[in-house]
A = this chain, B = another copy of it.
Amino acid sequence: MNRVVIKLTGKLFSPENVKVLMEIADIIIEHKKRGLKLAVVVGGGETARKYISMASEAGVSLGWQDILGINASRVNAVLFSALLGDYAYYPIPTRIEEFIHAWNLDKIAVGGGLQPGQSNNAVAASLAELLNAELLINATTVDGVYDRDPRIDPNARILKELTIKELKNVLSQSYAPGKYELLDPIAISIIERAKLNIVFINAFKPYMLKSVLSGEKTYGSWVIP
């Protein structure tokens, strides 16, 4: 596996998760040294939610709330870039062209959102398509895609492998900023048309990322295009 796009949940970017972030950065550097080409998209997390909430209270439109979420996700991207040191592409990409630019220069671009009305997952999917990635790794807050809502149903279990059609059945999303879960319809449509390989893993268990980057299929939910 040589070409990978990683989506990191914004929930990682909280003071209590610094050690996890450092571990993830080290795993990525290690694989970069071995020749892996990769790009990283990070979510906005609690910072995004804070600013969206403030903007909402101030009566700012949902479009501008998106812009705030995007800018917040970029601060996360700066932090993660700082952890990657010389391996990172800097400054933070704010257009999809810059991600391509960084990729071709063999640097790890770490970016956040790009445009209002577009989830970070859609950015990651679009990148995976443009960069001809072999795998899109969606590192989220759960161990994979459950067959039922694990917060409600204790019998919910991880689906080891599923088709894109099955994935669509599982998912249900709303479009309010900062609330996109797993994958929104736009991301799904890009994934479908580009026939992307995706795996959902738990970002808070970095050994899962390490395993996936090593070419193993031990963890996570794998979506068959």
Q: Which residues of B contact A91 (CB under 8 A)?
A: 97-98, 100-101
Distance in angstroms between the alpha carbons of A71 and B104 in the assembled complex: 20
The A contact surface, by secondary structure, is helix
Answer yes or no: A63 CB below 8 A from chain B CBs. yes
Instruction: Tell me the chain A residues, 139-189 only, with Cβ under 8 Å from chain B.
Output: 175-176, 185-186, 189
Question: Interface size (A, Cβ < 8 Å)?
Answer: 66
Asked if residues B103 and A86 are in contact (CB atoms below 8 Å), the reply is yes
Q: Which residues of B contact A37 (CB under 8 A)?
A: 86
Distance in angstroms between the alpha carbons of A95 and B15 in the assembled complex: 29
What 1/0 flags go to A207-221 for Cβ under 8 Å of B? 000000000000000
Selected from B51, B130, B189, the residue in CB contact (under 8 A) with A175 is B189
Distance in angstroms between the alpha carbons of A72 and B78 in the assembled complex: 10
What 1/0 flags go to A83-121 for Cβ under 8 Å of B? 101111111001111101101110100000011111000
Asked if residues B104 and A83 are in contact (CB atoms below 8 Å), the reply is no
- Tell me the nearest residue of chain B to A60, going by C-beta: B82
Asked if residues B78 and A104 are in contact (CB atoms below 8 Å), the reply is no
Answer yes or no: A75 CB below 8 A from chain B CBs. yes
In the complex with contacts A90-B104, A193-B176, A79-B51 CB distance below 8 A? yes
Distance in angstroms between the alpha carbons of A189 and B129 in the assembled complex: 23
Chain B: minimal CB distance from A68 (Å): 6
In the complex with contacts A62-B194, A90-B104, A79-B95 CB distance below 8 A? no
Asked if residues B122 and A117 are in contact (CB atoms below 8 Å), the reply is yes
Answer yes or no: A55 CB below 8 A from chain B CBs. yes
Q: Which residues of B contact A105 (CB under 8 A)?
A: 105, 107
Asked if residues A64 and B116 are in contact (CB atoms below 8 Å), the reply is no
Can you spell out 22 A-B residue pairs with CB atoms less than 8 angstroms apart? A18-B54, A18-B57, A47-B75, A55-B79, A55-B82, A58-B83, A60-B83, A61-B129, A63-B190, A67-B130, A68-B79, A71-B78, A75-B75, A86-B104, A90-B104, A95-B95, A114-B115, A117-B118, A176-B193, A185-B186, A185-B189, A186-B186
